[in-house]
Amino acid sequence: MQYDVARKHSPKKNQWSMTEFMNLQTKPKDIAIDRSAGNLKITWADSHVSEFSLRWIRANCPCATCREERRAAELNTDILKLSSGPLPSTQIAGAELVGNYAVRMTWTDGHTAGIYAFTSLRASCPCSNCHPEGPPAFLLL
Ligand SMILES: [Zn+2]
Ligand SMILES: [Zn+2]
């Protein structure tokens, strides 16, 4: 009983609003895919809008397989690139939320392993406010 009273009077409220404030930047209010424009548009809870090209999203797929492929391509240069198969699809089949922290992209070639954390996407926002020096080439973690 005493425990309950103590909890009611603890300064939980301040902690909560601080967390809530920080979440606004990495919490999507709306996620829209424009297939004809080839864009993924995320409107964040703080009303900031990030527009990513699907080509960029796919090129930066954070799954282990794609990361390994990119690493190998960097090390082995052109010969490997020439001999590798068709380019991965940049046509999106769907996107689904993973918990409340990430979005999983499904591409039309069946690749579904890429899980993009909202913190990464927000950090990589290509707009000129977030990155005056130009959009990041890679997904920032
Ligand atoms: Zn991947
Ligand atoms: Zn931005």
Cite the beta strand spans of the chain per DSSP E.
28-34, 39-44, 49-53, 92-98, 102-107, 115-117
Q: Which two tokens stand for residue 37?
A: 């424009």
Q: State the distance from the centre of ligand 2 to the C-alpha of 22, rounded, in angstroms.
A: 16
Q: What's the pLDDT score for residue 134?
A: 96
Residue partners of 123: CB distance under 8 A and separation at least 6: 140, 141
SS3 32: strand
Q: State the distance from the centre of ligand 1 to the C-alpha of 13, rounded, in angstroms.
A: 40
Cα–Cα distance measured from residue 43 to residue 121, given in angstroms and rounded to the nearest whole number: 11
pLDDT class of 74 with cuts at 50, 70, 90: confident
Ligand closest to 57 (CA) is: 1
Q: State the distance from the centre of ligand 2 to the C-alpha of 16, rounded, in angstroms.
A: 25
pLDDT digits (tens, 9 = 90+) for 24-55: 999 999 999 999 999 999 999 999 999 999 99
Of 75 and 59, the structure prediction assigns the larger pLDDT to 59
Alpha carbon separation from 43 to 49, 80, 91 (Å, rounded): 4, 38, 21
Q: State the distance from the centre of ligand 2 to the C-alpha of 31, rounded, in angstroms.
A: 15
Q: What's the pLDDT score for residue 83?
A: 52
pLDDT digits (tens, 9 = 90+) for 77-130: 655 555 556 678 889 999 999 998 999 999 999 999 999 999 999 999 999 999
Cα–Cα distance measured from residue 43 to residue 46, given in angstroms and rounded to the nearest whole number: 8
